[in-house]
């Protein structure tokens, strides 16, 4: 199983599938369609049925039931795009029998995975770690999830003595830019419930996520030759700095944890004449989420009193906390908990400090908790995944599928 996982994962991350939030196409990049075509052929070769890629790039397939008793139709979903924060990697570094110490990723830039910064590394002593080269991200988010699902389906095909109902798998584009299931046809997917394999460390099980919104702040300045600017110049960059300073410092990601929400400045650009700030807004509590959006608007209104008509904003909701959709069918969480315990894993039920396709799918009528894929430090050059965690994820998938 480990070799199978390693071979698949290494092949998957060799495909460039970075999504692009500035693109006007869907999927946002051509590379995702290319990888989707590869997945279609691979799933057909495995022997799955109803394999297809639709006009939006969604890849779906079916493992037919092999038992007579009526069982629920269960889905497993992962996304194949990687985050636009950094380019992806062509091949991982493979560290076998990890010695438990610091790992130098790139000596030239002195980029290292250190126990000081990442103490959880010590949990994986003796295991096989897949890391970046110190210059790219790895792509375990979420090609580890895809490899796990495909390997689990292959295992079930090779072991018909394991009885199960109908299983559906789905692989989606553009999750990293918040559009992963924008056109996903839940009715055609035809599942009673599903799971995204898109979580972090081994044991993670999540059915709560942030409510999420984006905010774009545009500031119009007035550029005048600095030698003649007295009483005339309005520097949009200084207004932008003032805007950011009015947001609470203790509600930034680096100062929050657990259920605490935040504002994150993700992009800024500007000149004296024009500036733009882009934020993401996050909170698990719907009321606090709404209050955060209101504060953004209140700051805009305040600055427009001070600098009449110079500040505008556009706030867009992205997704909501799936908890309200999952709690009424909580048995889907309990099924995953049992599957983990049967694999010798103690579930770590916790809120997602982020979002997954499962959030929007849950609001589309498909309850969809999130299960660990095994990776750490997503979206950057410190990303890594223990191969043994991926192996356990496969076992959890198989356990979920088993007839009950």
Active site residue 81: yes
| From 81, 174, 204, 391, active-site residue | 81
Calculate the CA dihedral of residues 15, 19, 24, 25 and round it to 10 degrees.
Answer: 40
Mark whether 260 is an active-site residue.
no
In the 3-class helix/strand/coil scheme, how is the chain assigned residue by residue? CHHHHHHHHHHHHCCCCECCCCCCCCCCCHHHHHHHHHHHHHHHHHCCEEEEECCCCCEEEEECCCCCCCCCCEEEEEECCECCCCCCCCCCEEECCCCCCCEEEECCCCEEECCCCCHHHHHHCCCCEEECCCCCCCCHHHHHHHHHHHHHHHHHHHCCCCCECCEEEEEECCHHHCCCCCCCCHHHHCCCEEEEEEECCCCEEECCCCEEEEEEEEEECECCCHHHCCCCCECHHHHHHHHHHCCCHHHCHHHCCCCCCEEEEEEEEECCCEEEEEEEEEECCHHHHHHHHHHHHHHHHHHHHHCCCCEEEEEEEEECCCHHHHHHHCHHHHHHHHHHHHCCCCCEECCCCCCCHHHHHHHCCCCCCEEECCCECCCCCCCEEEHHHHHHHHHHHHHHHECC
Q: Which residues contact 324 (CB under 8 A, 6 or more apart)?
A: none
Paired residues of 194 in beta bridges: 75
Marked catalytic residue, from 148, 174, 175, 206: 175
Kindly list the catalytic residues.
81, 175
């Amino acid at each position: 199983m480990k070799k199978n996982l390693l071979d698949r994962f290494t092949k998957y991350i060799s495909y460039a599938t970075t999504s692009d939030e500035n693109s006007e196409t869907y999927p946002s990049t051509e590379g995702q369609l290319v990888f989707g075509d590869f997945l279609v052929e691979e799933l057909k070769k495995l022997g799955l049925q109803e394999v297809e890629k639709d006009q939006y790039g969604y890849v779906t397939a079916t493992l037919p039931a092999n038992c007579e008793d009526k069982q629920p139709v269960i889905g497993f979903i992962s996304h194949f795009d990687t985050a636009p924060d950094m380019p992806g990697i062509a091949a991982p570094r493979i560290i076998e029998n990890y010695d438990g110490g610091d790992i130098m990723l790139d000596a030239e830039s002195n980029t290292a995975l250190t126990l000081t910064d990442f103490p959880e590394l010590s949990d994986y002593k003796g295991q096989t770690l897949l890391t970046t080269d110190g210059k790219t991200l790895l792509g375990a988010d979420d090609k580890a999830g895809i490899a796990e699902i495909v390997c689990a389906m292959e295992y079930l095909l090779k072991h018909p003595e394991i009885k199960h109902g109908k299983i559906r798998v789905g692989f989606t584009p553009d999750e990293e830019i918040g559009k992963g299931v924008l056109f996903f046809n839940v009715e055609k997917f035809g599942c009673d419930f599903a799971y995204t394999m898109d979580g972090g460390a081994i044991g993670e099980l999540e059915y709560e996520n942030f409510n999420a919104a984006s905010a774009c702040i545009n500031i119009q300045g007035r550029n005048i030759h600095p030698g003649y600017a007295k009483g005339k110049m309005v520097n949009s960059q200084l207004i932008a700095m003032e805007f950011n300073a009015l947001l609470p410092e203790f509600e930034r990601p680096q100062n929050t944890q657990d259920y605490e929400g935040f504002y994150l400045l993700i992009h800024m650009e500007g000149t004296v004449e024009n500036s733009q700030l882009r934020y993401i807004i996050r909170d698990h509590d719907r009321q606090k989420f709404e209050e955060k959006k209101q504060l953004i608007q209140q700051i805009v209104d305040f600055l427009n009193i001070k600098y009449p008509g110079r500040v505008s904003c556009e706030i867009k909701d992205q997704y909501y906390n799936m908890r309200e959709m999952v709690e009424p069918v909580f048995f889907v969480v309990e099924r995953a908990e049992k599957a983990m315990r049967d694999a010798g894993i103690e579930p770590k039920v916790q809120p997602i400090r982020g979002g997954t396709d499962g959030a929007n799918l849950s609001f589309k009528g498909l309850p969809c908790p999130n299960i660990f894929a095994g990776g750490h430090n997503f979206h950057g050059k410190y990303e890594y995944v223990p191969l043994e965690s991926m192996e356990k994820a496969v076992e959890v998938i198989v356990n979920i599928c088993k007839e009950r």
